[in-house]
Amino acid sequence: MEGNGMEKRALVAAVLCLLVLFLYQSFFLKGKKKPPQQEAPIEQIERETIKETKEALLAPERLVRTPSPGRPAEDVKVETNLFTATFTTAGGRLKDWKLKRYREEVDPNSEPLNLVSTPDDHLLPLNLYFSGPSSEVIYEVDKKFLNLYREGEEGSIVFSWTLPEFLRIKKEFVFFADIYQAELFVTIENLSESPLRGRLSLEWISQKEQGKKGGFFGSGGAYGYVGPVAMIGEKVETKDLTKNLKETKEYQNVRWAGFEDKYFISALIPRDSPSMGLKVEKISEEKERVVESTALLHPRVVIAPQRSLEQRYSLYFGPKDKKLLESLGVGLDKAINYGWKVFEPIAKPLISVLNIFYSFTKNYGLAIIILTVLIKILFYPLTQKSFQSMQGMQKLQPKMTALREKYKDDKEKLNRELMQLYRTEKINPLGGCLPMLLQIPVFIALYQALWNSIELRHTPFIWWINDLSAPEDLFSIPLFGYNLPFRVLPLIMGVTMYLQQKMTPTMGTSQQAKMMQWMPIFFTFLFWGFPSGLVLYWLVNNVLTITQQYFIRKKT
The pLDDT tens digits of the residues spanning 129-179 come to: 886 545 568 899 999 999 999 988 999 999 999 888 888 999 999 999 999
Name every residue whose Cβ is closer than 8 Å to that of residue 295 and which is 6 or more positions away in sequence: 63, 127, 129, 201, 202, 203, 204, 257, 278, 279, 280, 281
Rounded-to-integer distance, Cα 270 and Cα 330, Å: 10
CA distance 161 to 159: 7
pLDDT of residue 20: 41
Return the pLDDT at 217.
41
CA distance 440 to 444: 6
The three-state secondary structure class of 10 is helix
DSSP assignment of 122-154: TS-S-EEEESS--TTSBPEES-SEEE--STT-E
**pLDDT tens figures, 284-326:** 887 778 888 899 988 888 999 999 999 999 999 999 998 899 9
Instruction: Determine the pLDDT at residue 46.
Output: 45
| Distance in angstroms (rounded) separating the CA atoms of residues 270 and 311 | 8
In this prediction, residue 40 carries a pLDDT of 36
Calpha distance 176→315 (Å, rounded): 12
- Check residue 56 and give its pLDDT: 47
What is this structure's pTM?
0.76
- More confident site: 60 or 382: 382
Cβ contact 312:184 at 8 Å:
yes
Greatest pairwise CA separation for the chain in angstroms:
136
Domains in the chain with CATH codes: 75-337 (2.70.98.90), 345-395+429-555 (no CATH)
CA–CA dist 527, 15 (Å, integer): 87
Backbone angles phi, psi at 440, to 5 degrees: -60, -45
The set of residues, in sequence order, having a beta carbon less than 8 Å from that of 224 and lying 6+ positions away, is: 215, 261, 262, 263, 337, 452
CA distances from residue 435 to 107, 346, 390, 391 in whole angstroms, order as listed: 43, 17, 11, 14
Q: Confidence class of residue 431 from pLDDT cuts 50, 70 and 90?
A: low
Q: What is the pLDDT of residue 403?
A: 75
Higher pLDDT among residues 112 and 512, named by residue: 112
Count Cβ neighbours within 10 Å for each residue of 257-277 and write b for 16 or more, e otherwise. Answer: bbbbbbbbbbbbbbeebeebb
Residue whose C-alpha is closest to residue 318's, from 367, 260, 363: 260
The answer to whether the CB of 186 falls within 8 A of the CB of 310 is yes
For 446-469, write each residue's pLDDT tens digit: 777 777 888 888 888 888 888 888
Selected residue with higher pLDDT from 189 and 347 = 189
**Pairing verdict, β 145-147 and 75-79:** parallel
Angstrom distance (rounded) from CA 56 to CA 166 = 13
Q: What is the mean pLDDT of residues 213-239?
A: 69
Between 1 and 513, residue with greater pLDDT: 513
| Cα torsion angle, 541, 543, 544, 549, sign | positive
7 or 179, which is more confident?
Answer: 179
Look at residue 26 in the predicted model and tell me its pLDDT.
40
- For the stretch 318-323, contacts whose Cβ atoms lie closer than 8 Å and that sit 24 or more positions apart, written own/partner, are 318/82, 318/83, 318/99, 318/115, 318/180, 318/181, 318/264, 318/265, 319/99, 319/102, 319/180, 319/263, 319/264, 319/454, 320/260, 320/263, 320/264, 320/265, 320/454, 321/454, 322/348, 322/351
Q: According to the per-residue pLDDT averaged within each range, which of 117-131, 189-203, 479-493 is highest?
A: 189-203
